[in-house]
Amino acid sequence: MSDPLRLGIAGLGTVGIGVVKIVQQHAALIAARAGRSIEITAVSARSRDKDRGADISGYAWEDDPVALARRADVDIVVELMGGSDGPAKAVTEAALSAGKDVVCANKALLAHHGQALAERAESNGRALRFEAAVAGGIPCVKALTEGLAGNAVARVMGVMNGTCNYILTRMEEAGLSYETVFAEADQLGFLEADPALDVGGIDAGHKLALLAAIAFGTRVDFEGVELEGIDRVSIDDIRHAGDMGYRIKLLGVAQMTGRGLEQRMAPCLVPKKSPLGQLPGATNMVVLEGDAVGQIVLRGAGAGEGPTASAVMADVIDIARGLRIPAFGRPAASLDTAVPARARAPLAYYLRMTLQDRPGALAKVAAALGEAGVSIDRMRQYDHKENFAPVLIVTHKTTRDAIEAAIDNFTATGVVVGEPVALAIQQV
Ligand code: HSE
């Protein structure tokens, strides 16, 4: 058997400790599969003395993760600190420049600096792998780079933020408001330190941008992702969607069109009976569509100690086996610059708004929709409150541009109270 492969782990939070446990518990199994043993030689984290529920006393300690990245007895740096810049970026750059392979779970870092890091890895002849960055334990990066390597990919979709899916599921099941469930999620520790990363769709947008880069051979373009969070989804929306046979999910869709790369992460209505509609709680789902293979649906835990560490170890074991695949599935220099395009696929839309309850108010909305070329499929007024009339409209298929033009026009007439909600209905 070859020499052991030596890991340096930067970051001993939930995922870092998960990796330590797998390396310790499955040493023989991993050595048999990889053809060489995998050892941890050094670790680094913010606090040395914390009780982490795993024995790390046998590993060298580094206060400075960059020093860990440069150690002569480390072959792979496992970066699990997180953050799009700062120490995580410094560690990754230092490791690649020092001739180490890097495995990380850091979607924010890769969404912002993936191209430069992939180029640095390749110019140093090293691997940069990030299976754990997208949808936790679901092997969707491998599925795209390896399993579907013979396909032209038509579309990538996914529910890739467990916290948002938990919030939406809990709202529906308990009939609770967004604000109440958000507070619960906060109490349970489900939210990122900056909750906007979750509920603003940013974390899921990072993941979609990474998958799109692999699927379509383009440089990661997070700036090109149209982002909408779940914070304006109300319990009324969830109930109305349910009455029509739909559920609301924070869904990412990326596809290459003749106009460019469409990437959109936004709450959508999906049929209750579809795989995406049946996705409960914090679970993630990634749907990949290839021209030869058809549709692949991958479902599993999108976060947490075991699932995310499982994905980290898959990358580590690939490197141990000598499998060297470019970070985004083809050499970084050959990735095209993405031309971002606004999502324009014709879809039906769910519109909810509150109107002033006075003569002609609804007519103004109907006229604005008509002028923008949007045709109404169904409409309902419900729960009048004093001078206000909540209205729900489902349109025939149209474009987001047309919906937004109509909303601008009817909002300008002064009959609408507050901001209307417009959600696409995806037949997935
Ligand atoms: N906050 C993320 C989620 C963690 O809820 O899915 C994994 O990226």
Consecutive 10-residue averages of pLDDT for the chain (428 residues): 92 97 98 97 94 94 98 98 95 98 98 98 97 98 98 97 97 97 93 94 98 98 97 96 96 96 97 96 96 97 96 98 96 96 91 94 95 95 86 96 95 93 93
What residues flank ligand 1, with Cβ below 6 Å?
Answer: 136, 161-163, 192, 198, 203, 302-303
* Both tokens assigned to 252: 């990412």
Query: What number does the ligand 1 atom closest to the CA of 207 have?
Result: 8
Nearest protein Cα to ligand 1, atom 4:
303
The residue annotated as part of the active site, out of 207, 272, 273, 364, is: 207
pLDDT at 170: 97
Query: What number does the ligand 1 atom closest to the CA of 136 have?
Result: 7
Pocket test for ligand 1, best of 15, 190, 192, 283 (most atoms within 8 A of CB): 192
pLDDT at 263: 97
Give the whole-angstrom CA distance, residue 287 versus residue 234.
26
Query: What number does the ligand 1 atom closest to the CA of 308 have?
Result: 7
Nearest alpha carbon to residue 313 among 60, 40, 1: 40
Taken in order of first residue, the domains within the chain and their CATH numbers are 5-133 (3.40.50.720), 140-301 (3.30.360.10), 348-425 (3.30.70.260)
Kindly give the distance from the C-alpha atom of residue 207 to the centroid of ligand 1, in angstroms, as a whole number: 10
Pocket test for ligand 1, best of 130, 160, 163 (most atoms within 8 A of CB): 163
pTM of the shown model? 0.95
Sign of torsion, CA 59 60 65 70? Answer: negative
Contact 99, 105 (CB under 8 A): no
Give the whole-angstrom CA distance, residue 161 versus residue 198.
7
- In the residue annotation, 207 being an active-site residue is answered as yes
| 350 phi, psi to nearest 5 deg | -100, 125
Give the whole-angstrom CA distance, residue 253 versus residue 394.
21
Kindly give the distance from the C-alpha atom of residue 88 to the centroid of ligand 1, in angstroms, as a whole number: 18
Pocket test for ligand 1, best of 165, 203, 208 (most atoms within 8 A of CB): 203
Residues in the chain: 428
- How far from 233 is each of 239, 258, 273, 397, CA to CA, in Å? 11, 32, 21, 21
* Both tokens assigned to 102: 């890097």
Query: What number does the ligand 1 atom closest to the CA of 197 have?
Result: 1
Q: Encode pLDDT of 54-101 as tens digits.
A: 999 999 999 999 999 999 999 999 999 999 999 999 999 999 999 999
Kindly give the distance from the C-alpha atom of residue 162 to the centroid of ligand 1, in angstroms, as a whole number: 5
Give the whole-angstrom CA distance, residue 10 versus residue 45.
6
pLDDT at 1: 63
Kindly give the distance from the C-alpha atom of residue 93 to the centroid of ligand 1, in angstroms, as a whole number: 24
Q: How many CB atoms lie within 10 A of CB 189?
A: 6
Kindly give the distance from the C-alpha atom of residue 68 to the centroid of ligand 1, in angstroms, as a whole number: 27
